[in-house]
Amino acid sequence: MDNDISERLLSSEVQKTNDDLKARVYDESRKIWRVALPGVLSRVASFGSIVVTQSFIGHTGELDLAAYALVQTLIVRFVNGILIGMSSATETLCGQAYGAGHYHMMGIYLQRSWIVGFITLTILLPFFIFATPIFKLVGQEESIADAAGYVSYWFIPFNYNYVFSYTIQMYLQAQQKNIIIAWLTVAQFVIHIPLSWLLVYQFEFGVPGAMIALIISSWFVVIGEFVYIFGGWCPNTWRGFTMDAFKDIFPVVKLSISSGLMLCLELWYNAVLVLLAGYMKNAEVAISAFSICLNINGWEFMISLGFLGAACVRVANELGRGDAKATRFSIKVIVSTSIVVGLFFWVLCLSFGSKIGYLFTNEKEVADSVSDLSMLLAFSVLLNSIYPVLSGVAIGAGLQSTVAIINLCCYYLIGIPIGAVLGYVANLEVQGIWLGMICGVVTESIALCYMTWGTDWDNEVTKAKQRLQKFYLKFDESNQLA
């Protein structure tokens, strides 16, 4: 009798524990998707505009496609790596400030990021202006280098939108208000397709028409974000322009540089591999096929970036609140969710990989080369569900410097050398380069898993409090400019 009662009590306790765990997982998942879903939609739609532009340019000619691919994959990724990295300091600071209730500081952090981003991009303009001699200097074919130099000029006004769009997205998602960005970027994508068709085919503007459409649609999002912020929809976190944005700018730059280095090393990795592809026998085909697969991988990677943003927000918010236990639980839920999503797209790529190339080109040789890479592409998509989320955890905790070292070792000491050996020595060409890329990503994923598992989150709570106290400024209306 006593045994029956004990078993019932034990069963009841187990059921209660299970119900409590289900409730906690549901609550955490709801918080994650509230940030991740708008982030996924906005990034997929935004990057989709770049992919659509590549598709329109690809159907105008193989040389134009190779030139666009070279600029977009090398120079734009190089510059954006720096801009995204510099902006990720805003993600750390805004997320932790929101968790700690320092709402007015978020507007100050946002303005500081605009100052840092604008100056940074202006310093980097020579990469766009002197693209042709740069590409010739590194040994690219003269015809591709000349065409790429022309395309690069069109990317200058396009890239300035990133100074504002990246940082505003991080500022809004820290407050779980990034649904407005999702609506704006979906509208951008919807506008971009007919606008590109009109300018490229109806008006027969060719490459300039495709780039003008990209510029117009990208700035549409930024203008919409300004209207939302300045129009009073962020009353607690936006108190107007202030001179306080110029205070403590150098400590923010220091954090931004470590953030920039972390993400730059990641984004430049693919750029270096495209550069290696440019030395293949049939460079136009190699660059075009490789960049098409990278853009497909990059488009799916935008989904992973949505989870990266959610991981950053959840970790930063909980650290700002001082709850290490909730931080650990949030990491477990978001990594599990991301892997399930990654498995879905892995199956999708395996099923339709052989037909993807024809969406971007009419050239059979290029499409066949894309088909040859489809299996490797599928596994890259699967890996996208792991390491970006763990990078988001690092950003939320302010551990960018550690991840920068991991990226340097895994990508540049492992991935690129292996890719070069397999591509040129083993004569696997583009497949060999991609295999090298996967080796670097697998190594990085293992290292990030180990880092996350071994992190003392109670200690990170203490560090977050110290960081917020260091940058905290009392609200002073006399410093307001508008």
Q: How far apart are alpha carbons 429 and 422 in whole angstroms?
A: 7
What is the greatest pairwise CA distance in the chain? 89
With contact defined as beta carbons under 8 Å apart, do 369 and 357 qualify? yes
DSSP SS3 for 8:
helix
With contact defined as beta carbons under 8 Å apart, do 256 and 89 qualify? yes
Q: At residue 271, does pLDDT exceed 70?
A: no
Amino acid 233: pLDDT: 92
Higher pLDDT, 430 or 378: 378
Q: At residue 259, does pLDDT exceed 80?
A: no
Single-letter amino acid, residue 306: G
Q: How do the domains of the chain map onto residue ranges?
A: 34-473
- Paired tokens of 40: 């996924």
- Paired tokens of 139: 């040994």
Q: How far apart are alpha carbons 126 and 137 in whole angstroms?
A: 15
- Return the half-sphere exposure (C-beta side, CA atoms, 13 A cut-off) of residue 245: 21
- Please choose, from the candidates 303, 301, 263, the residue with its C-alpha nearest in 3D space to the C-alpha of residue 391: 263
Amino acid 482: pLDDT: 53
pTM, two decimal places? 0.75
* Packing angle of the helix pair 283-321, 324-352 (nearest 10 deg): 160
Q: At residue 7, does pLDDT exceed 60?
A: no
Q: How far apart are alpha carbons 268 and 416 in whole angstroms?
A: 11
Q: How far apart are alpha carbons 308 and 312 in whole angstroms?
A: 6
DSSP SS3 for 176:
coil
Q: What is the DSSP string of 265-332?
A: HHHHHHHHHHHHHTTSSSHHHHHHHHHHHHHHHHHHHHHHHHHHHHHHHHHHHHHHHT-HHHHHHHHH
With contact defined as beta carbons under 8 Å apart, do 169 and 42 qualify? yes
Mean pLDDT for the chain overall: 83
Single-letter amino acid, residue 423: G
DSSP SS3 for 240:
coil
Q: What is the tens place of the pLDDT at every residue in 435-468?
A: 888 898 899 899 999 998 888 888 888 888 887 7
With contact defined as beta carbons under 8 Å apart, do 415 and 441 qualify? yes
- Return the half-sphere exposure (C-beta side, CA atoms, 13 A cut-off) of residue 187: 14
Q: What is the tens place of the pLDDT at every residue in 154-197?
A: 999 999 998 999 899 889 988 888 889 889 999 999 999 999 99
Please report which confidence band the pLDDT of residue 262 belongs to, taking 50, 70 and 90 as the band edges. Answer: low
Higher pLDDT, 372 or 42: 42
- Within 10 Å of residue 412's Cβ, how many Cβ atoms? 15
Q: What is the tens place of the pLDDT at every residue in 296-315?
A: 787 777 788 788 888 888 88
Q: Which of 53-57, 296-300, 326-330, 425-429 has the lowest mean pLDDT?
A: 296-300
With contact defined as beta carbons under 8 Å apart, do 314 and 31 qualify? yes
DSSP SS3 for 480:
strand
Residue 344, CA distances (Å) to 9, 48, 52, 319 in order: 40, 19, 23, 31
Q: How far apart are alpha carbons 234 and 103 in whole angstroms?
A: 10
Mean pLDDT, residues 130-140: 87
Residue 268, CA distances (Å) to 71, 76, 172, 264 in order: 13, 10, 27, 6
Helix (H) or strand (E) holding 143: helix 142-174
